[in-house]
Amino acid sequence: MKTATEILLSTRMGALAALLVLAAPFSASAQTSDDGVEVMRDAAELRDIIRDHDPDTINTALVLTNQGGPATIARCVAFNAHGEKIGRAWVRLPANGLRIMLASDVAGGLDFVGSIRCHARGDVVGSAFIVGPGLTDATVHHSFTWNESRIRAQVVVSY
């Protein structure tokens, strides 16, 4: 007597349905929609952010640097002052390269004061600058365990 799986696979449509079911988890896991939007700012854009900044706004630039090894992805989450998640974003870091995210990128354009936490495979460090009528650096904490970096910008702002 055939099992239900054998019967299903014995027909062409059944075999096609089985392939689609098997393929679905792989395509879903490759997507990064849960990680938010991809940010693609390189080092040259930091100069433009500082020079051409609207004096009536304030934002935090988070600079993530891959200190070695292969290219990696950093995933970041923004939290408001109440500790609630308000947005996500991610960035591809080339080997030995850096990329810039703004607090407004991670928060989806929302005005907020809070923090941003990021994690990445490999040795990644962060720096933060609050860009407004003036420019100031902000405190960033790093922790590194075997092949994983965690970066926390304690105070970020976007208005």
Q: Which domains does the chain have, with CATH numbers?
A: 4-31 (no CATH), 35-158 (2.60.60)
Q: What distance in Å separates the CA atoms of residue 46 and residue 42, rounded to the nearest whole number?
A: 7
Q: Which two tokens stand for residue 143?
A: 């922790």
Which tens digit of pLDDT belongs to each residue from 10-42? 554 443 333 333 333 322 223 346 889 999 998
Angstrom distances, CA of residue 12 to CA of 6, 7, 19, 158: 12, 11, 11, 56
What residues does 55 pair with on adjacent strands?
Answer: none
Token pair belonging to 40: 């693609």
Alpha-carbon distance values, 96 to 81, 91, 92, 99, 100 (Å): 33, 14, 12, 11, 14
Q: What is the structure's pLDDT at 133?
A: 85
Q: What is the pLDDT of residue 68?
A: 84
Of the pLDDT bands very low, low, confident and very high (cuts 50, 70, 90), residue 124 is: very high
For 142, the token pair is 């790093």
Higher pLDDT, 16 or 125: 125
Q: What is the mean pLDDT of residues 88-112?
A: 95
| pLDDT tier at 70, thresholds 50, 70, 90 | very high
Using 50, 70 and 90 to split pLDDT, how confident is the model at 1?
A: low
State the pTM of this model. 0.76
> Model confidence at 120, in pLDDT bands (50, 70, 90)?
very high
3-state percent breakdown (helix, strand, coil) of the chain, nearest 5: 25, 45, 30
Sign of CA dihedral 108, 113, 114, 118: positive
| Contact call for residues 156 and 116 (beta carbons, < 8 A) | yes
